[in-house]
Amino acid sequence: MRNKYLFSLLKLILIGYISIANTGCSSSNNAANLAPSPNTFACLKEKSEHLKLEATAFSDSITKSYKDTCFKGYVVLKNVTFGGAATFENCTFGNVHEEKNNVPYVDFFKTIFRQNVSFKNARFLGEARFNGVNFQKKVNFENAYFAKKLILRNTIFEGESEISFKNATLPSILDISNLDLKKFKGIIDLTEAKFDANGQKKCTIYLGKTDLSKIKLDFDKFELPDNLSSNKKIETLTKLLEQQKKDGMRKGAIKADIQIRRLATKDIRVLGNLFDLFGNLWWNYSYNKERIFYWTLALFTFFWFYNFVWLEKMFLKVYKIDILVKKYCYSLSKLNPNDHFLVNVTSGGSQLNLFSQPTQDKALKNKYRGTWYFWVTPICRILRIFGFHRDSKNRTNLIKLTVNRWYISFLYTAYIFFGININLQNLNYHNRKWMRMIIYFFFMYISGLISLAYLAGYVIVSK
């Protein structure tokens, strides 16, 4: 009897232990299911060997998932057909610790994806090659990271929805040339992609023979390759310009238009680079018209200062303006009417001849030594602005003379720069000794004409 009770008791204890064990296992499984997902780029599975598949086909009922896998070696899938959906989400292609030049590449050469495929949060540490791949449904590159090159050359897109590169980090080189988009009804949107891979700010993009009406991008963030010929670049930029305007990408349209103009200008054989430099600096090919005012003011100020320093030489040796010569001579005579050492004016008042009567009086000569330095030495002439002079008695007169000199120089510059009643008969072009000053005169005159022409054009266009 006792043995029977003991057997029953042991049976109950055993059943209770088994039920508790099962409860613990189920709770641990639930905890595992409720645990938070791993980090975006964390690898739960690792494959250190290479993944290589050729001429392989997976049926429509099979969904191939390589999610959360780290591929440390080369991944080569050539002529592989995925009949069902495929996912490479959170995958890392390449070893983080490899040297930059030795990072394995990924090659999906002529692979066919019949259903949706996702590369969301995937990291491509080497080159990502999708040459000739056929995407028949939706493709997702959201948050993907491309460290080196993304090659989609000769790729076929047949889906109906847009291809998302939202928050994807594009590499320094993106090749989407010769895409087959005949059956594609969506848009390849690159406007929300980022460009901070390896610190680069812009991406070089290849667009040859691709229908740009189905590519949405902001060209301000891209550059065309340097190895393209000028004709090819102009052809591509012209298509880009139309598409940028259509998509409302103002900065991209401006950039495309400026590059077209620069290429067309550089094709001029002799002075192409000079015209390009002028158009770029002067007004950024009409997109920064306010620069015209800045350059006009800067040029006028430069000529004004230069003429202030060399005013007598310009009067006597280059181009004489009678009314200004008379004004200047009159101001000098009023300053020191009895001092023939300073100025000698002819009876007509039309000729200025400074320091033409050297004095024999040594004391008088020493008295005006400072004045001589101020007149002859250009550096000392600049100091006249501040009225510096060795003789404090003459400082007030020199300040007045300096102010008047600035005024006469301003008028002289305005007469020539703005072409006010220019009379070339007054130009002393026979004296070859001062030929460089004559060249300077024409440079000032032509600069003024160009500035006035652009200012007039700006006013007319703005109205």
For residue 79, the domain's CATH number is: 2.160.20
Same domain, 206 and 119: yes
| Angle separating helix axes 290-309 and 435-462, nearest 10 degrees | 150
Give me the domain span that covers residue 318: 291-454
Q: Pick the more confident residue, 299 or 57.
A: 299
Q: Pick the more confident residue, 383 or 361.
A: 383
pLDDT at 34 over 50: no
Q: What is the pLDDT of residue 63?
A: 83
Last residue of a domain, one of 196, 217, 238: 217
> What would the two tokens of residue 140 be?
């997702």
| Angle separating helix axes 395-417 and 435-462, nearest 10 degrees | 60
Q: What is the pLDDT of residue 58?
A: 83
- Lowest-pLDDT range of 13-22, 269-278, 388-397: 13-22
Residue 249 lies in a domain: no
Over residues 64-115, the pLDDT tens digits come to 888 888 888 888 899 999 999 999 999 999 875 555 556 678 999 999 999 9
Cβ(220)–Cβ(255) under 8 Å? yes
Q: What is the pLDDT of residue 364?
A: 38
Last residue of a domain, one of 194, 217, 240: 217
Q: Pick the more confident residue, 381 or 119.
A: 119
Same domain, 201 and 297: no
- Lowest-pLDDT range of 211-215, 248-252, 292-296, 398-402: 398-402
pLDDT at 337 over 70: no
- Lowest-pLDDT range of 147-156, 310-319, 338-347: 338-347
Same domain, 327 and 423: yes
**253 burial type by CB count under 10 A (0-12 exposed, 13-18 middle, 19+ buried):** buried
Q: Quick one: residue 198, left, alpha or beta (phi over 0 = left, psi -120 to 50 = alpha)?
A: left
Over residues 204-241, the pLDDT tens digits come to 999 999 999 999 999 999 999 988 888 899 999 999 99
In angstroms, the CA 102 to CA 384 distance is 68
pTM of the model: 0.69
Residue 237 lies in a domain: no
Share of the chain above pLDDT 70, in %: 70
pLDDT at 41 over 50: no
Same domain, 435 and 309: yes
Same domain, 211 and 309: no
Same domain, 309 and 178: no
Q: What is the pLDDT of residue 91?
A: 92
Cβ(108)–Cβ(129) under 8 Å? yes
Residue 127 lies in a domain: yes
In angstroms, the CA 231 to CA 228 distance is 8
Same domain, 413 and 303: yes
Over residues 115-148, the pLDDT tens digits come to 999 999 999 998 999 999 999 999 999 999 998 8
Same domain, 182 and 324: no
Mean pLDDT score, 372-390: 47
Same domain, 306 and 207: no
Last residue of a domain, one of 217, 238, 261: 217
> Considering its fold, how many domains does the chain have in total?
2
Residue 1 lies in a domain: no
In angstroms, the CA 256 to CA 250 distance is 10
Cβ(88)–Cβ(117) under 8 Å? yes
Residue 255 lies in a domain: no
Same domain, 211 and 343: no
Same domain, 108 and 212: yes
Q: What is the pLDDT of residue 395?
A: 61
* Nearest alpha-carbon partner for 442 in 427, 458, 430: 427
Q: Please state, rounded to an integer, the average pLDDT across all residues of the chain.
A: 77
What are the C-alpha distances in Å from 119 to residues 143, 282, 303?
9, 47, 63
| pLDDT confidence bin for 22, thresholds 50/70/90 | very low
Residue 73 lies in a domain: yes
Cβ(112)–Cβ(145) under 8 Å? no
- Lowest-pLDDT range of 20-34, 98-112, 216-230, 321-335: 20-34
Share of the chain above pLDDT 90, in %: 39
Same domain, 202 and 333: no
pLDDT at 202 over 60: yes
In angstroms, the CA 386 to CA 367 distance is 20
Residue 270 lies in a domain: no
| pLDDT confidence bin for 156, thresholds 50/70/90 | very high
Mean pLDDT score, 184-193: 90
Residue 434 lies in a domain: yes
